[in-house]
Amino acid sequence: MSNTLIYSSVMLVAGLGIPVMAALNGGLGERLQSPAHAAAILFFIGLILATAYLLATVGLPANLFGTDTPRYLYFGGFFVVFYILSITWVAPRFGVSNAISFVLLGQLIAMTIIDHFGLLGVQKYAFGAQRGVGLVLMALGVFMVLNKTPKV
């Protein structure tokens, strides 16, 4: 099996999990009447699972923070916390499909900017006409799947 197929499959499954997680955590936040409480539970369970995976695959790291690693690389957690808190709060009020659609649109915009300029140390991919058309088509698709009328 080629790496492209493996990577695509893993990310497809990860993508399938995002709306499921939004619905689950949004429901938990509603039941607990606290998006922050639901987010803390999610991160606690995530910490346990990530730690178990770490120990099972590579063991304890000799050095938790790499000495030559730029400090900004450690701030990915900020975006995870923001995403979890916002999706937990917004999804029950705005709908999972609406919330995830705007998340997807934000991802499309960010990926284009990050790739074009090679930000945060990633490989550069120029923004050309083909990529622009693809981005516009994907953005149109996002807007086409929006659920504009909530069913009560």
pTM exceeds 0.85: no
Find the length of the chain. 152
Q: Is the pLDDT of residue 134 over 70?
A: yes
Residue 21 has a pLDDT of 94
Residues 89/36, Cβ–Cβ less than 8 Å: no
Percent of the chain with pLDDT over 90: 60
Task: Kindly report the average pLDDT of the chain as a whole number.
Answer: 90
Per-residue confidence at 147, pLDDT binned at 50, 70, 90? low
Q: What are the helix (H) ranges across the chain?
A: 3-32, 35-57, 76-94, 96-117, 129-144
Q: State pLDDT tens for residues 6-33.
A: 999 999 899 999 999 999 999 999 999 9
Q: State pLDDT tens for residues 75-110.
A: 999 999 999 999 999 999 998 988 998 898 899 889
Report domain extents, the chain: 1-92, 95-152
